[in-house]
Structure 1
């Protein structure tokens, strides 16, 4: 390891290089270019201010001035610079390491990760929008925290590789990941030696942490790239101060600020360290760096000023202070407890989110884990060396990007520290080599080299195996991105001209399918499964219906209603999945032909069955004089009877064909056959009463029978605040202990046998209780108060000794309260 020179003088020059060229012609044209850049940038800024940019600027004119201004700035600096830019030829070993980095990032690239994650799809849709709409020029995507540069890059890749290609988006992450490897070499070479740079590049190339984010089209992996670029240019400026180096650093800082927010803390730390060592001469150069960086990022600054709520929403929503005092008594305690999870992330327990990690395994393999600890020890012992200060501070600021949020051990928010890990691993390797050489003078040089190569090979194998044999086949992570790809593959087998395609909202994510199959998407009908069956349709098409795990009650219901239905699950054997795979598949495909659907329609031979009403309101019935008609036990009197009916099934018995006049119509006409059903259709579920107040008071505004109290309310039944109560009987299939849970957005209570056993509010998450129940029907009541957006109520249960929690099946529920009194 190259020893640090006294006072770190090798990091900066005593005398600055000439700021500008002495060539009069170049100085004149360079100055003119800078003046032009200032004019163009000022014009762009005024245009941006004038339009008060929303997430997208409808007119491309401000962007044209902005890009022209940046071009003029670069041209002017190149004309004014005193020394030409010299490109160094990379060594052969670096090219081999870069080839290795590309190889492991592109290995099984189409299949790992399989499918499309939601954030990837949203980014792809924004990029496609840029390609398809000339007046859509976005500045910022608040939900993804993504600025215009990354969205434009995605748009360019989609234009090259196809606008439905998730691989096109992921290529950008591959390039940033490999770019960090390239920069790691030059940073290591600057601060130590070429061999140090090669090892640092190697660790960046093989590290699973970097590999994971290099294969996902999400923000994050660009952070170590820009952090290394900034550090390289910063050291270059300190070593050779010049106009060109200052401007290059300004562009590097500005570029980093236009990507993931974790970079902001890292760059601040790097400049603090630099100022501590170079403050006497740094001020004019750092001012120039700041000016150039501001010229690069000013569109996003204008957006932040005019749309602060959008720009700062994610930071506010994820700030760890939100956990005080509900979870932690003080902010200091919250930071301390969260920091412990991030410290354990490296060597003990990694990121718990399966999309980013494999079964909570540490983020570092054993070889790199040990080397990092050794390197950290060497860095602390030699903390006066400026290079160690740079990386130790980056370790703190990189982790702070996660520690200061509500997430525990989030490897995505802290991905910037991979550059520190690579540095410390290399420092540990070189430090051990130095110690060996100090105490074993006669040891051949080939021995430490061979040992290092063996350790490197072991680290490569461990990281490669953990990713491609572990993470790639881990069900918990696979399902997050693969679900919608598998669903789309199944749907593509059923052409829309022959089938109506229905997808349960419990398993259907709009963005991923819209991105990967835009031609299929318009034919999909996302629905709440509660109330879907029996199918109310006169269509002559077959139906293909996708149900999710939480719709297992509907699968059982379909089997009862349509015994000839084809119910299939996708074959996942080709993925060789491992881990905690649920017994119940994540998807069921239900195929119903017209004959299956019609088999339930119409009354039985005695005129008995059910009338299905799709709209709550007053219905008029034309009753012949000699007819005997009862509806919900009410006798319809001739010549006409008016009844108020709620949505759902109503018991019907008639001796004559029924004619009606539904709400909003002016004439009588025969009730269509697809509104009439016979057994085994029945009124199943719980009867819900809806009150236009927050206290379940007064006369209900409406009532209806709902199949099961497990739903997200896409359309709320009343204006907020309102309350609801569902009552009926629950059939307990066998004696035993049962776990019952409730989770809600709002407030909910569950009452069994007249006893309140559960109460939960939004902030409580899932709340459960265990009760011993006996076979037979028991009364059940569920209360719900809706006061906020995203209304939802999820009641589940299971026998305590078996299975997963599941919604209450409507087959086990009856709205007839008297049956269980």
Structure 2
């Protein structure tokens, strides 16, 4: 307990520093999307409850009610607009820590702390926690559902399963990729052919998603038609297959070769994973396939695939896009853990402490590299990537120009 408390405090301090250091200065300006998100949130205060808004190109409103609540507490400021994303960014670190404690052997007691540290120091992760996009909120909902689902698997208590279904429903009401997440736990319930368990999961899920589904049934979702090429009836099957093959190439290369070009998401062209992280991810991914009978390997491979789908199904000229694949990060962290655990088992007992020290040094170098890239280099492109100069209130009275 004392060790967990110390690790939790250290993770909290590191997370606060990474997410809140120069919080309103890096990035200093707002993006036009953030301004539109603020408009959407403020509009919700003027109308009866709605699960979806066509404003800002169309969004489910769950996250924007949270932004509205933040405005009521802190005022209409950039800080209030961005702080919900930062808060969920902090919470996710502890959810990852809890998840990794459930998965990896007690013998490797350093693993949950190390993996949570790798998670929060990934530039891909903490970048999105520093401004007002919905990614960290969606990840919070998915990680909550996964944590509860694993608790159900361990204890066979259907109360946890119902809660997992509830959070899966909330994820469906979040950022567009969240509409696919429920398929992961549902798949594992289905292959066990436990109808009672399926109903326990699906009933709270359906209750939560019903208002949004009724709205979309009546009005449709323009974002789906605009972004997903499989629903474009003017394209041939050959064209769609070609788009898919291009997207697979973009998706894989974004990790190791050529990354997202969007300066808000990434330092343009830089791979999402640095070489140290990338090697452990590849090792752990291969091990997950080789040991496919393991439940956790199955689960995180399925989760990784579902996280990749939003990028694979959008038009190639919009890829690579690491915002759409943001929820792949927990699977990557799991693969890293798989790789470390495999290497540990190759070591004889007296070498364990030396190996643990070596791994911590290696990932300390990785974390330093990530943090330096963000604050020294990526921050320099933010003046162009975040176009809305001035305060949030000043930008709200300007016409939207993108």
TM more than 0.5: yes
CA deviation after TM superposition for structure 1 residue 325, in Å: 7.4
State the Cα deviation string for residues 664-716 of structure 1 (Å, max 9, x = none).
Answer: xxxxxxxxxxxxxxxxxxxxxxxxxxxxxxxxxxxxxxxxxxxxxxxx9xxxx
How many residues are aligned here? 395
173, 196, 203: which is aligned to 1:284? 196
Contact 1:123-1:144 at 8 Å conserved across structures = no
CA deviation after TM superposition for structure 1 residue 196, in Å: 2.9
CA deviation after TM superposition for structure 1 residue 148, in Å: 2.8
Q: Residue in 2 aligned with 1:121?
A: 35
TM-score (norm 2): 0.90
CA deviation after TM superposition for structure 1 residue 138, in Å: 3.6
* Contiguous gaps of at least 5 residues in structure 2: none
Instruction: Give the secondary structure class of the aligned counterpart of 2:383.
Output: helix
Q: Residue in 1 aligned with 2:79?
A: 167
* Greater share of residues in strand: 1
* Whole-Å separation in 1 of the counterparts to 2:233 and 2:203: 38
Contact 1:372-1:428 at 8 Å conserved across structures = yes
Q: Residue in 1 aligned with 2:100?
A: 188
State whether structure 2 residue 124 is matched by structure 1 residue 219.
no
State whether structure 2 residue 357 is matched by structure 1 residue 450.
yes
91, 101, 120: which is aligned to 2:15? 101
CA deviation after TM superposition for structure 1 residue 145, in Å: 4.3
CA deviation after TM superposition for structure 1 residue 244, in Å: 2.2
Contact 2:228-2:314 at 8 Å conserved across structures = yes
Instruction: Give the secondary structure class of the aligned counterpart of 1:330.
Output: helix
State the Cα deviation string for residues 522-552 of structure 1 (Å, max 9, x = none).
Answer: xx7x7xxxxxxxxxxxxxxxxxxxxxxxxxx
* Whole-Å separation in 2 of the counterparts to 1:207 and 1:269: 24
CA deviation after TM superposition for structure 1 residue 430, in Å: 2.0
State the Cα deviation string for residues 213-254 of structure 1 (Å, max 9, x = none).
Answer: 111212222333222222211111122233421331122112
* Whole-Å separation in 1 of the counterparts to 2:347 and 2:236: 49
Structure with greater contact order relative to length (CA < 8 Å, sep ≥ 6): 2
Contact 1:101-1:178 at 8 Å conserved across structures = yes
Q: Residue in 1 aligned with 2:309?
A: 400
State the Cα deviation string for residues 455-508 of structure 1 (Å, max 9, x = none).
Answer: 12111101101111111012xx43131x331xx4xxxxxxxxxxxxxxxxxxxx
- Superposed structure 1 runs of 4+ greater than 6 Å apart: 322-328
State whether structure 2 residue 6 is matched by structure 1 residue 92.
yes
405, 410, 417: which is aligned to 2:328? 417
The higher radius of gyration belongs to: 1
* Whole-Å separation in 1 of the counterparts to 2:120 and 2:49: 35
How has the CA–CA distance of structure 1 residues 294 and 321 changed in structure 2, closer, same or farther, with 3 Å as cutoff?
closer
Q: Residue in 1 aligned with 2:120?
A: 205
How has the CA–CA distance of structure 1 residues 307 and 323 changed in structure 2, closer, same or farther, with 3 Å as cutoff?
closer
State the Cα deviation string for residues 344-372 of structure 1 (Å, max 9, x = none).
Answer: 00011111112211021000112111111
State whether structure 2 residue 223 is matched by structure 1 residue 314.
yes
Q: Residue in 2 aligned with 1:351?
A: 260
Deviates more, 1:282-291 or 1:406-415: 282-291
Contact 1:146-1:219 at 8 Å conserved across structures = no
State whether structure 2 residue 339 is matched by structure 1 residue 428.
yes
Contact 1:124-1:154 at 8 Å conserved across structures = yes
388, 392, 396: which is aligned to 1:484? 388
CA deviation after TM superposition for structure 1 residue 323, in Å: 7.9
Q: RMSD between aligned alpha carbons?
A: 2.6
Instruction: Give the secondary structure class of the aligned counterpart of 1:116.
Output: coil
* Contiguous gaps of at least 5 residues in structure 1: 1-86, 489-512, 527-711, 713-821
* Whole-Å separation in 2 of the counterparts to 1:239 and 1:271: 17
How has the CA–CA distance of structure 1 residues 451 and 364 changed in structure 2, closer, same or farther, with 3 Å as cutoff?
same
TM-score (norm 1): 0.46
* Whole-Å separation in 1 of the counterparts to 2:114 and 2:233: 43
Matches of residues 401-800 of structure 1 in structure 2 within 5 Å? 401-406=310-315, 407-437=318-348, 441-443=349-351, 445-474=352-381, 477-481=382-386, 483-485=387-389, 488=390, 515-517=392-394, 521=397
Contact 1:180-1:225 at 8 Å conserved across structures = yes
Matches of residues 32-181 of structure 1 in structure 2 within 5 Å? 91-131=5-45, 133=46, 135-142=47-54, 143-163=56-76, 165-181=77-93
CA deviation after TM superposition for structure 1 residue 343, in Å: 0.5
Instruction: Give the secondary structure class of the aligned counterpart of 1:229.
Output: helix
